[in-house]
Amino acid sequence: MSCVAIIGLGNPGSRYSNTRHNLGFWLLNKFANSHDISFQAKPKFCSEISKFILNDRSCMLVKPLSFMNQSGKFLHSLLLNNGCDIEESIVVHDELTLSVGQMKISKGRSNAGHNGVASVFAALGSTITRLRLGIGQKESSHMSLSDYVLSSFNPHEAELLEARSNHFLAALKVLLTNGVDQAMNFYNQPLPDRI
């Protein structure tokens, strides 16, 4: 039975844990906690992984620890080593074009300047499924993009993300069990910008 990989993007280390760029890690941690599963370090592949079965489907959560811009560096060998179907892979990442608390599922779109996604595409191809979590646009033109994506959420944004986390997790489960078309039909609808 082939395995499907769910790859969350982020940067390793506590200094990055609450930043906008780490929403992929954040959602995978939420998923692991909700299913009482834990991550295991795989130093050979510079990753942490967690294997589980969901509705008779073999799945694997993956957090690359090679820093965002090289997220894809070890993915191809890691997925092959664990019997994962590369074309079935799902990438969870932050998205500038969506406001905080919004989500969009897509397949076969461009990386839109996201270096982590570009690295994953280089490793696995650009037709894989993506669950994109909004971080909003930077408000000040004086702030660099790198400073913005590495900034923390304000209290309202953090509260909104927590309130929406179960919605995001439900979308991920539908992706895993029912496929991308049904997930897009159910979940690609704008949500209110407030809780």
Per-residue model confidence as pLDDT tens digits over 43-79: 999 999 999 998 888 999 999 999 998 998 999 999 9
For residue 113, name the pLDDT band (cuts at 50, 70, 90).
confident
Confidence (pTM): 0.94
For residue 79, is it within any domain?
Answer: yes
Q: Residue 19 domain-assigned?
A: yes
- Catalytic-labelled residue, pool 21, 76, 142, 156: 21
- What per-residue confidence (pLDDT) applies to 195? 63
Is the pLDDT higher at 191 or at 3? 3
Active site residue 21: yes
Per the CB < 8 A criterion, the answer to whether 95 and 135 are in contact is: yes
45 and 81 Cβ atoms separated by less than 8 Å = yes
Q: Does 81 reside within a domain?
A: yes
41: helix, strand or coil: strand
148 — phi, psi (to 5°)?
-65, -50
**DSSP SS3 for 171:** helix
Domain presence at residue 95: yes
CA-wise closest residue to 149 among 110, 72, 188, 97: 97
Domain CATH code at residue 88: 3.40.50.1470
Using CA atoms, how far apart are residues 67 and 52, in angstroms rounded to an integer? 25
Report yes or no on 193 lying in a domain: no
Q: What is the C-alpha to C-alpha distance for residues 30 and 80, in angstroms, rounded to an integer?
A: 25
Would you state the pLDDT for residue 1?
Answer: 63
pLDDT at 191: 79
> Can you give the residue range of the structural domain that contains 39?
3-187
Cα distances (angstroms) measured from residue 98 to each of 16, 102, 111: 21, 6, 14
In a domain, 7, yes or no: yes
Mean per-residue pLDDT over the chain, rounded? 92
In a domain, 161, yes or no: yes
Domain membership flag for residue 195: no
Number of domains forming the structure of the chain: 1
Q: Given the structure tokens 């690359």, which residue do they identify?
A: 64
